[in-house]
Structure 1
């Protein structure tokens, strides 16, 4: 049950079907009060639209403007509530019973639809705060040079025992230096990392966003990163970077903003503890060119923060739908809670200031992507990407068409970013565009 997907059509279709049957049943049973039912539906839909606007746009309680899918389902659910309430008023006991059950099903159907759009809780385990990703047994670290190999794609000969797909699983990466209380990370090993004598490979750190249900597993489930990585590996004879997805949050509703402070020493955890663990536990290449950092939403903001702050560690970065800079949710004092009231420390953590402080970047690569319909963070991407370009980074940008601030954008953006990064980390032959 823990592994049941809350994003799959197979799970959602039965709930939608029951909700539809419930709406029809209520309407049939109370058909003599049809105008009441119609009025309840219109009033409920109007309240839903107003609620979406007030909570999402005015109060900004979820830190991103609701998508049209979210707005539709909130209005649809409350329209269903309106029909059920109108039918139950002065209705017989059977009508009230069916209406009551229908309200529950309507709420469930709407919640699942909104969850599917946002990708908050990919599985039942995620919804109740449990990790369902099985532990991974890492291959032994082999001897040999760990130096960056820009010509690996040219010299690589795929062996006969090359697996068709990569393997992933969860593992603990302790915060030995930072003391950061991170949840279990996820590691993806491409087919080339699973052979008897694997080559040393570059590594990509990938970060989830922050919000309800946020966890490393979001990247592989809502973002479908494993299947996307397997597609890239198939096109490149089993080669992709090893991907490490650590927890930069500690818990879903916590946002340390990838700095060191009262909310957790997230910066040191990612730039020191995770990096040290990678070089100790994986068959990984060393050197800045062999290590990249990426992320979606808050994770994308972390990617530009850390990639710009530590160019000696991260040679490339992928920022998908990141913010202009680290910030807490609406209603919270970012400077007070995240920076102990130190406005100067807050300013130092802003990507634009980091880029200006550390320029020029002579050998750093940056990929930025954002959804075409992302009205909240979409305007930030050209500002940050242009600042990175002016600071000397080799910059590429992508606008994902017909997409907002969601995991569809994240998955497409990360896949495009990893494809873009392949020749830059020696895993694909360079093209004129690269």
Structure 2
């Protein structure tokens, strides 16, 4: 049951059909009372539009603007609930036919809510299966290569040639990366090893540290499950003779509802975890390059903001950063709340942590590069791309911009742009041949 695919048309289309048939059944059995149904449909649609505007645009409950799919389906759900309410009110309790109407009306409500929720989920691509929606992950523990630690004389990727027994696919799995220095209580990370990392005499490979966003269900597994990153990385490796970066997907949150903002502060020492504990584990366990030019920090949404922050603050750790749909700086939604909870009320510390200010203060960046992307239809985060790009270029960073066609603030955009960012990084590190 937990493996049931929630994005499949084979599930959604029958559900939509049943929902419509139940709604039509309510209307048909009370067909002499069609005017109240018409009023309910219109009123419900207007109520849905109002709710989308209030919670999505005014109160900004989820931190992202609703898409047109979100708005339309909210209206549809409210309209169908309106039909159900009319059915319950107009149906009596004595006649057998009217009892059927009441049953259908009661059933219509959860069907409408479920249809709308799954349609919105399909648009965002957040929960591919029931297990994902329940917060369960079926990522197996990572089996490290037999000789995981780098040795003296490790082959540089530029001089490596694929052996005859090169695996067709890479390997991924979960690992525990302890917060020995930061004392950050991170959830298990996910690591992807390309085919080139799985053979004897594996080359020394560049590393991408890739972060998911923050919000309901947020976890490193989102990157491979909603973003389909393993399949994307396998395709990249197949085009380059088994070569691709090692991709480490750590937890920068501790919990989906927490947001330490990739800083060291009262909400957790996330920055130290990502810049010290994670690299230490990678160097000790994998054939990874130690040069800053061969390390990139990448992320989507809140993870994209983190990539901007850490790329600007730690150029000696991350020579490249990939910012997909990030914000201009660390935030908990409201500036006052951000300063109070994240910076103990210290506005000066808050302002000093803004990455655009860091870029200006630490310029020039002589060896840094950035890939900055967003969805072309993302009205909230898309306009941030040119602002960040201009500030980075002014500081000396080599910038590549990308707008993903037909993309919003969703995992379609994230998966596409993060994969393109990996290939961009491969060209930068001469891994792409």
TM-score normalized by the length of structure 1 = 0.94
1:98 counterpart = 2:76: no
Q: How many residues align?
A: 426
Residue 57 of structure 1 and its aligned partner are, at CA, apart by 0.6
1:161-211 per-residue CA deviation (whole Å, 9 max, x = no partner) reads 111111211111111111111111111111111223322211101001111
Residue 127 of structure 1 and its aligned partner are, at CA, apart by 2.3
Aligned to 1:245: 249
Structure 2 residues not aligned, in runs of 5+: 92-97
Aligned to 1:42: 42
1:178 counterpart = 2:182: yes
Work out which of the residue numbers 119, 132, 136 in structure 1 matches 2:138: 132
1:387 counterpart = 2:391: yes
- Contact kept in structure 2, 1:61 and 1:330, CA below 8 Å: no
CA distance in 2, matches of 1:134, 1:45: 44
Work out which of the residue numbers 352, 358, 362 in structure 2 matches 1:354: 358
Aligned to 1:163: 167
Residue 382 of structure 1 and its aligned partner are, at CA, apart by 0.7
Aligned to 1:337: 341
CA distance in 1, matches of 2:417, 2:123: 16
Aligned to 1:121: 127
CA distance in 1, matches of 2:289, 2:399: 24
CA distance in 1, matches of 2:206, 2:161: 17
Aligned to 2:419: 415
Residue 129 of structure 1 and its aligned partner are, at CA, apart by 2.7
Aligned to 1:108: 114
1:91-146 per-residue CA deviation (whole Å, 9 max, x = no partner) reads 11110101111111110111111122223433323322333212111113255348
1:368-422 per-residue CA deviation (whole Å, 9 max, x = no partner) reads 0011111111121111111111111111101112221111111111111111111
- Contact kept in structure 2, 1:172 and 1:183, CA below 8 Å: yes
1:329-379 per-residue CA deviation (whole Å, 9 max, x = no partner) reads 348700000111111111111110111122111111110001111111112
CA distance in 2, matches of 1:11, 1:243: 33
Residue 38 of structure 1 and its aligned partner are, at CA, apart by 1.6
Aligned to 2:69: 69
CA distance in 2, matches of 1:325, 1:6: 33
CA distance in 1, matches of 2:154, 2:305: 29
1:294-316 per-residue CA deviation (whole Å, 9 max, x = no partner) reads 00011000001001111111111
Structure 1 residues not aligned, in runs of 5+: 430-434
Residue 2 of structure 1 and its aligned partner are, at CA, apart by 2.9
2:380 aligned counterpart, secondary structure: coil
TM-score normalized by the length of structure 2 = 0.94
1:144 counterpart = 2:151: yes
CA distance in 2, matches of 1:296, 1:428: 23
Aligned to 1:89: 89
CA distance in 2, matches of 1:90, 1:37: 10
Aligned to 1:270: 274
1:162 aligned counterpart, secondary structure: coil
CA distance in 1, matches of 2:368, 2:406: 30
Aligned CA-pair RMSD: 1.7
- Contact kept in structure 1, 2:364 and 2:396, CA below 8 Å: yes
CA distance in 2, matches of 1:226, 1:387: 32
CA distance in 2, matches of 1:124, 1:175: 31
CA distance in 1, matches of 2:137, 2:269: 23
Aligned to 1:17: 17
Aligned to 1:284: 288
